[in-house]
């Protein structure tokens, strides 16, 4: 079972993320951007990212981060939500420490959705209902955000991103499960979208 784990990918992904975050955290505030330590961390992050791309494309049998996911437009919504929601809360109030806390409901939705999808698909082997529920939950969440978020948001209104995280992780889990079943990308995408 451990042979299936892409340890090399995990190591280089962690190095790239940690060094990149250190550059963003330290650069410009605690150290000047031209400081050799910042440049070294930036170089390490870029180098680890390049090695990660090589490992994931040419080496790993089951990659920790399938790079083909970046090519699918379905994954863009969750990424945009993770980046833009803290900015939305940060801009009007000029408070950065509180902005990230508004993503917590989405993370909770991610966890619940992943556990539920794993349980249902492994027990029943059926996945079409998961696809429908995932799209419906995500669409509901994004529509609620469009309709309800206009300036000052209460804590209860920020909970409307739970279905977004829930629905997106259902879709990711479904894509992962189907890709492990050796179905071609075109076939499963058409099959899933045909039922939605």
Q: What per-residue confidence (pLDDT) applies to 46?
A: 96
How many structural domains comprise the chain?
Answer: 2
* Judgement on whether residues 189 and 101 belong to the same structural domain of the protein: yes
Q: Which residues of 142-168 are buried (b: 16+ CB within 10 A; e: fewer)?
A: bebbeeebeeebeeeebbbbbbbbbbb
Q: What per-residue confidence (pLDDT) applies to 72?
A: 63
* Judgement on whether residues 132 and 163 belong to the same structural domain of the protein: yes
Q: What per-residue confidence (pLDDT) applies to 118?
A: 77
Residue recorded with tokens 């045909």: 194
| List of the chain residues with pLDDT < 70 | 1-2, 69-79, 81-82, 90-100, 171-196
Alpha-carbon span 22 to 25, nearest angstrom: 5
Model confidence pLDDT, tens digit, residues 115-132:
887 788 778 877 777 778
Residue 12: domain span = 2-59
User: 21, 41, 59: which is the final residue of a domain?
Assistant: 59
* Judgement on whether residues 11 and 97 belong to the same structural domain of the protein: no
* Judgement on whether residues 153 and 84 belong to the same structural domain of the protein: yes
* Judgement on whether residues 101 and 171 belong to the same structural domain of the protein: yes
DSSP string over 105-140 = HHHHHHHHHHHHHHHHHHHH---HHHHHHHHHHHHH
Q: What per-residue confidence (pLDDT) applies to 166?
A: 74
* Judgement on whether residues 73 and 48 belong to the same structural domain of the protein: no
* Judgement on whether residues 93 and 182 belong to the same structural domain of the protein: yes
Q: What per-residue confidence (pLDDT) applies to 92?
A: 62
Alpha-carbon span 98 to 7, nearest angstrom: 34
Give bridge partners of residue 31 from the DSSP assignment. Answer: 27
Q: What per-residue confidence (pLDDT) applies to 76?
A: 66
User: 12, 42, 59: which is the final residue of a domain?
Assistant: 59
Q: What per-residue confidence (pLDDT) applies to 171?
A: 67
Alpha-carbon span 173 to 179, nearest angstrom: 10
User: 13, 37, 59: which is the final residue of a domain?
Assistant: 59
pTM of the model: 0.55
């Amino acid at each position: 079972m451990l042979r299936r784990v892409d340890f090399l990918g995990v190591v280089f992904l962690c190095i790239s993320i940690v060094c990149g975050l250190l550059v963003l955290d330290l650069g410009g505030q605690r150290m000047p951007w031209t400081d050799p330590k910042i440049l070294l961390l930036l170089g390490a992050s870029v180098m680890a990212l390049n090695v990660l791309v090589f490992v994931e494309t040419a080496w790993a049998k089951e990659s920790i981060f399938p790079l083909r996911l970046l090519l699918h437009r379905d994954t863009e919504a969750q990424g945009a939500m993770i980046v833009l929601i803290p900015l939305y809360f940060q801009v009007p109030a000029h408070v950065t420490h509180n902005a990230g806390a508004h993503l917590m409901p989405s993370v909770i939705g991610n966890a619940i959705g992943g556990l539920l999808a794993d349980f249902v698909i492994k027990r029943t082997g059926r996945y079409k209902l998961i696809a429908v529920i995932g799209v419906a939950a995500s669409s509901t969440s994004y529509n609620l955000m469009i309709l309800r978020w206009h300036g000052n948001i209460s804590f209860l209104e920020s909970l409307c991103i739970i279905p977004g995280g829930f629905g997106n992780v259902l879709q990711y889990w479904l894509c992962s499960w189907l890709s492990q079943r050796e179905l071609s990308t075109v076939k499963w995408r058409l099959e899933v979208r045909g039922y939605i």
